[in-house]
Amino acid sequence: MIVHGYGGSGATHWQRWLERKCRHLGIETHFPNLPDRFAEPKLPAWLEALERTMPVISQSTALVGHSMACPAILQLLARQSNEAGLVVLAAPVTRDEMFPCTRHFWDGFDPASVRGKTRRIEMFTSDNDRYVDTGIAQRLAADLGAGFHIIPGAGHLSVAAGYHAFPEVLELIAPSR
């Protein structure tokens, strides 16, 4: 399941590229349109939409999120009893002052609540992302037991930053395909 952040992901976003690549490889792919993505998103509505799209998470499930989708995916995992195979967190929003509506997406989240609920977590961020505090992201990755990858000069890993493809994520989902 590929989960967009605030505002969604247009046709030239790396998430749409990933969706096309996965489908081409025969990988069942879900890309839900979440409610209020252009207004003030509400975590309960996003979680309901995600649970409706992916009612059963299993060890063969990969969850890929960008920006505000990252805390939503982690909150979803915390509510699950099953284990996911892979979680990819790209540019997890951490700066409340940049996106005040993200504050409640992290409310009550405890990294311990997702330990043991995924085989692997990988986090990607940039050294110049104005929406992500790299130090906070790195501590979160450590608390989650996640791999942590900094991509120099990649901004928010979005179309505005020139991110139209993300082969590193495809390689995690479909190694050497």
Confidence label for 7 from pLDDT (cuts 50, 70 and 90)? confident
Q: List the domain boundaries for the chain.
A: 2-173
Query: Is pLDDT above 90 for 127?
Result: yes
Q: Which residue has the higher pLDDT, 126 or 9?
A: 126
State the Cα–Cα distance between residues 63 and 75, nearest whole angstrom.
12
Query: Is pLDDT above 80 for 22?
Result: yes
Question: What single string gives the DSSP state of each residue in the chain?
Answer: -EE--TT---TTSHHHHHHHHHHHTT-----PPPTTTTS---HHHHHHHHHHH-S---TT-EEEEETTHHHHHHHHHHH-SSPEEEEEEES----TTT-GGGGGGSTT--GGGGTTSEEEEEEEEETT-TT--HHHHHHHHHHHT-EEEEETT-TTSSGGGT-S--HHHHHHHSTT-
Q: Read off the pLDDT of each residue in 142-167 and give the average, rounded to a whole number.
A: 95
pTM of the model: 0.95
Return the minimum-mean-pLDDT range out of 63-67, 95-99, 134-138: 95-99
Query: Is pLDDT above 80 for 176?
Result: no
Contact between 98 and 121 under an 8 Å Cβ cutoff? The reply is no
Q: Read off the pLDDT of each residue in 37-63 and give the average, rounded to a whole number.
A: 90
Q: Provide the CATH number for the domain formed by 2-173 in this structure.
A: 3.40.50.1820
Confidence label for 23 from pLDDT (cuts 50, 70 and 90)? very high
Confidence label for 98 from pLDDT (cuts 50, 70 and 90)? low
Confidence label for 9 from pLDDT (cuts 50, 70 and 90)? confident
Q: What percent of the chain has pLDDT over 70?
A: 96
How far the first Cα of the chain sits from its last, in Å, is 19
